[in-house]
Amino acid sequence: MDPQALLFSLFTPEGRENPFPALEALRENVPVYYDKDLDTYFLTTYADCQAVLTDTSFRTPDLGWCEDNLPDWREHPAADFFYASMLRANQPDHTRLRRLVGAGFTPRRVAALSEAVEQLTDSLLDAFAEATADGAAANFQEMVGYPLPVAVVGELIGVPAEDRLRFQRLGGDASRLLEPVRTEEDWARADSAVTELRTYFEDLLLLRLAEPREDLATVLLETGEGQERLTRKEVVDTLLLTFVAGFETTAAMLGIATHALLTHPHQRAAVGADPELAAQAVDEALRWDTPVQMTERIASAATVIRGVTVPAGANVTTVLAAANRDPAQFPDPHRFDVHRSGSRVLSFSAGPHYCLGAALARLEGAIAVRRLFTRFPDLALAGPPVRRESFSLRMYEDLPLTTTAGPRAPRTRAAVGATTTAKD
């Protein structure tokens, strides 16, 4: 068993499609594996990952880390954004940012978005139904998986509907920062996207200063007093982070949950019989095929993990995809089971950096899954899905589906009119 060969197999097309055998072998044989080429300790058990993520002595790589490890970071707008954002900030900056930004993610605000999520979902499913009429296939990700979270996060932030379409490309380019190894092309795409998004959100804030609304942009401008207020740059970058993190990972979740149910008929039948299981189905999909496969921390002091000495300053990578299939935490971990509950998945991280938008993502997922499978009882795969070529983010680029059991006769104009009248 060559642990490096197992690790690097994850970068192959086969490893991207099914990383779990390699991750299981690593967890069983070398649960704390140091790779000298990547200079990081990979953790693959649930207990170790959860312990590191909740231990504040393990810090996130921030701008201070960049000084030693990414000396040209000032030349990259994307690095300036990413490593200074709440996602990478450490105490005391992280505590201050999270407290102030949290005002925009209260349970009341998330619950208030429920009706908008339902309306947006129904509108997209209307278009999906039209595209798949008469047995035609359509890409679920293109028509629902991506547009829904883009629209929801746009609704949250206050981005007008007409501006949201171009954000899908920009979000995808900015998310190249999540890759553990970034090419020159990754940096160029991320830098360009961050620059364009910063300009957009700066202009949006000028509009909100003149005309406040009930959206996150306004909340962030008004939260705090005096020196406790967020700076303008912090507000801009928080909106940018909310947008990128709020749609890329949620789009991945929607595709994964849909595919998981379609490929597990008994579990799909359970959700069909009890639509209230949709929320548990989403959580189980997040565990079973974790969208964000790993996240990193820096050891502030020397420590020992499972008998392995980790020196101060060492990079530690928590492999969430492996942790979420650890049999010590999840019985029968390779089984997709929508009745599994209380499983405390690490898909939204843990500890101080637990995802602030987790409740909203779960809300979107539950509503989308419930409405999708209720409306289309004959929903089926129409061909092999295609995953994005990404190591850190597992998501489908193409998920071809049909919504009818077979070709239908075209509807007459009268039938179309009747359907419209009934709906109105």
| CB burial readout 193-216, b (16+ within 10 A) else e | bbebbbebbeebbeebeeeeeebb
Least confident window among 107-121, 146-160, 408-422: 408-422
DSSP 8-state class, residue 58: E
Tell me, what's the pLDDT at 227?
A: 62
Q: Report how far residue 379's alpha carbon sits from residue 386's, in angstroms, rounded to the nearest whole number.
A: 18
Tell me, what's the pLDDT at 273?
A: 94
Q: Report how far residue 399's alpha carbon sits from residue 255's, in angstroms, rounded to the nearest whole number.
A: 7
248 confidence band (pLDDT: 50, 70, 90): confident
Q: What angle do CA 326, 62, 202 make, to 5 degrees?
A: 110
263 confidence band (pLDDT: 50, 70, 90): very high
Residues of the chain with pLDDT > 90, as a percent, come to 72
pLDDT exceeds 90 at position 1: no
Torsion sign over Cα 278, 280, 281, 285 = positive
Q: What residues pair up with 380 in beta bridges, in sequence order?
A: 402
Least confident window among 34-38, 41-45, 97-101, 332-336: 97-101
380 confidence band (pLDDT: 50, 70, 90): very high
pLDDT exceeds 70 at position 406: no
Q: Looking at the chain, how many residues does it have?
A: 424
Higher pLDDT, 414 or 166: 166
Overall average pLDDT of the 248-254 stretch:
94
Tell me, what's the pLDDT at 407?
A: 47
Tell me, what's the pLDDT at 301?
A: 96
Average pLDDT of the chain? 90
Q: What are phi and psi of 308, to 5 degrees?
A: -105, 125
Tell me, what's the pLDDT at 419?
A: 30
pLDDT by residue (tens digit) across 159-203? 888 888 777 788 888 888 877 778 899 999 999 999 999 999 999
Least confident window among 19-28, 128-137, 163-172, 366-375: 163-172
Tell how strand 32-35 and strand 40-43 pair up.
Answer: antiparallel
pLDDT exceeds 70 at position 415: no
Overall average pLDDT of the 146-154 stretch:
93
pLDDT exceeds 70 at position 150: yes
Tell how strand 294-299 and strand 138-139 pair up.
Answer: unpaired
| CB burial readout 132-157, b (16+ within 10 A) else e | beeeeebbbbbbbbbbbbbbbbbbbb
Tell how strand 315-319 and strand 138-139 pair up.
Answer: unpaired
Radius of gyration of the chain (CA): 22
19 three-state secondary structure: coil
Token code pair at residue 84: 């200074």
Tell me, what's the pLDDT at 11?
A: 86
39 confidence band (pLDDT: 50, 70, 90): very high
pTM of the model: 0.90
Tell me, what's the pLDDT at 109?
A: 87
Please say whether the beta carbons of 89 and 60 come within 8 A: yes
pLDDT exceeds 60 at position 260: yes
pLDDT exceeds 60 at position 424: no
Higher pLDDT, 341 or 42: 42
pLDDT by residue (tens digit) across 127-145? 999 999 989 999 999 999 9
pLDDT exceeds 60 at position 421: no
Q: Determine if the peptide bond prior to 311 is cis (ω within 30°).
A: no
20 confidence band (pLDDT: 50, 70, 90): very high
pLDDT by residue (tens digit) across 318-360? 999 999 999 999 999 999 999 998 779 999 999 999 999 999 9
Q: Report how far residue 271's alpha carbon sits from residue 184's, in angstroms, rounded to the nearest whole number.
A: 45
Q: Report how far residue 329's alpha carbon sits from residue 326's, in angstroms, rounded to the nearest whole number.
A: 6
pLDDT by residue (tens digit) across 199-219? 999 999 999 999 999 899 999
